[in-house]
Amino acid sequence: MSNRGVRNLFVFGSLFFFVIFVALTFDTMKRLDKRAPEITAEVDEGKKLWHKYDCIGCHTILGNGSYFAPDLTKVTVNKPEGYLEKFLVNPKKVKSTAAMPALGITPDEAKKLVAFLDWVSKVDTNGWPPKPVLATFRMPQTPGVTVYQKYGCSSCHMISGVGGTSGPDLTKVASRRPDPEWHKRHLREPSALVPDSAMPAYPQISDEELNQLVDYLLTLK
Ligand code: HEC
Ligand code: HEC
């Protein structure tokens, strides 16, 4: 190749990749804006409280923190209204076995903290963390498993190591609770059987789905 050819290759080659680089940068910046919802004053105050109480001393969030307590990156997904606020004010009252101490959080502070956690939960993290509480686990896709996933039970319950920690581990639930009628009543109205239950009631599950779900729960032993 002549000197001129080499020079042209260098100049136009560099120019070509520079243009692609600029275009991709613009594209990324344009998308970034849409990956997180608006930050409100409440979210902002929640974040300050998050630091005040040093929540990160026990929890991880968006990849930072300690491994003593569950990751909170997607913690508000599928949680019933008001549940996390109550938990933060007095964890043991919502879940008798809670390992999280009551930190002296007021109801108003709890509302702001949950606003912050909800903002974080809505950030599009491209499927990160790799094993989120909502991961679908590898199991035979029976109708009961489909119902379990449809109603987001795994955001609170763990089965074979996958799921949330708000509710009891269900890996062996049928050994503890073998009665199908108990499960049906409990799912329709948990507090009728377990006083102060923090589990949401599921009046919206159809009778057919309820039977399928309970059949599945009874296989867990
Ligand atoms: C001393 C350690 C510790 C500190 C500090 C701490 N937590 Fe926790 N937290 C836990 C543990 C352990 C759990 C797991 C549930 C349980 O057994 O209590 C938990 C659970 C949670 C949950 C999940 C509740 C559920 O049902 O899914 C939320 C939300 C939460 N913490 C928020 C916070 C916030 C917000 C702060 C700061 C204000 C905080 N935590 C500070 C230990 C801690
Ligand atoms: C917001 C969190 C939450 C969600 C969502 C949730 N649960 Fe629960 N679940 C709990 C808590 C807390 C308890 C313990 C209190 C109780 O037994 O009612 C519980 C208890 C249970 C128990 C009894 C376990 C035992 O050992 O006694 C079963 C079974 C159960 N849940 C199944 C389900 C199914 C199925 C779904 C989905 C349709 C579901 N849960 C959704 C929080 C939740």
Give the number of other Cβ atoms within 10 Å of residue 130's Cβ: 6
Ligand nearest to the CA of 220: 2
Contact 64, 74 (CB under 8 A): no
Most confident listed range (67-81, 138-152, 203-217)? 203-217
Beta carbon of 99 within 6 Å of any ligand 1 atom: yes
Tokens at 64, concatenated: 């930072």
Give the phi and the psi of residue 50 in degrees, each rounded to 5.
-55, -40
pLDDT tens for residues 170-204? Answer: 999 999 999 999 999 999 999 999 987 888 899 99
User: What is the distance between the terminal CA atoms of the chain, rounded to a whole angstrom?
Assistant: 74
pLDDT tens for residues 80-116? Answer: 888 999 999 999 888 777 888 999 999 999 999 999 9
**Of 191, 97, 188, which Cα lies nearest the Cα of 151?**
188
Beta carbon of 210 within 6 Å of any ligand 1 atom: no
Residue 127 Cα to ligand 2 midpoint, Å, equals 25
Our mutation pick for probing the ligand 1 site, out of 47, 49, 51, 58, counting the most ligand atoms within 8 A of Cβ, is 58
Amino acid at 183: H
pLDDT of residue 132: 45
Taking phi over 0 as left and psi of -120 to 50 as alpha, with beta for the rest, 92 belongs to alpha
**Which atom of ligand 2 is least distant from the CA of 153?**
37
Tokens at 171, concatenated: 């890996």
pLDDT tens for residues 130-145? Answer: 654 455 555 667 899 9
pTM, full prediction: 0.72
Beta carbon of 84 within 6 Å of any ligand 1 atom: yes
High-pLDDT (> 90) share of the chain, %: 59
Residue 100 Cα to ligand 1 midpoint, Å, equals 5
Contact 111, 85 (CB under 8 A): yes
Tokens at 187, concatenated: 């799912």
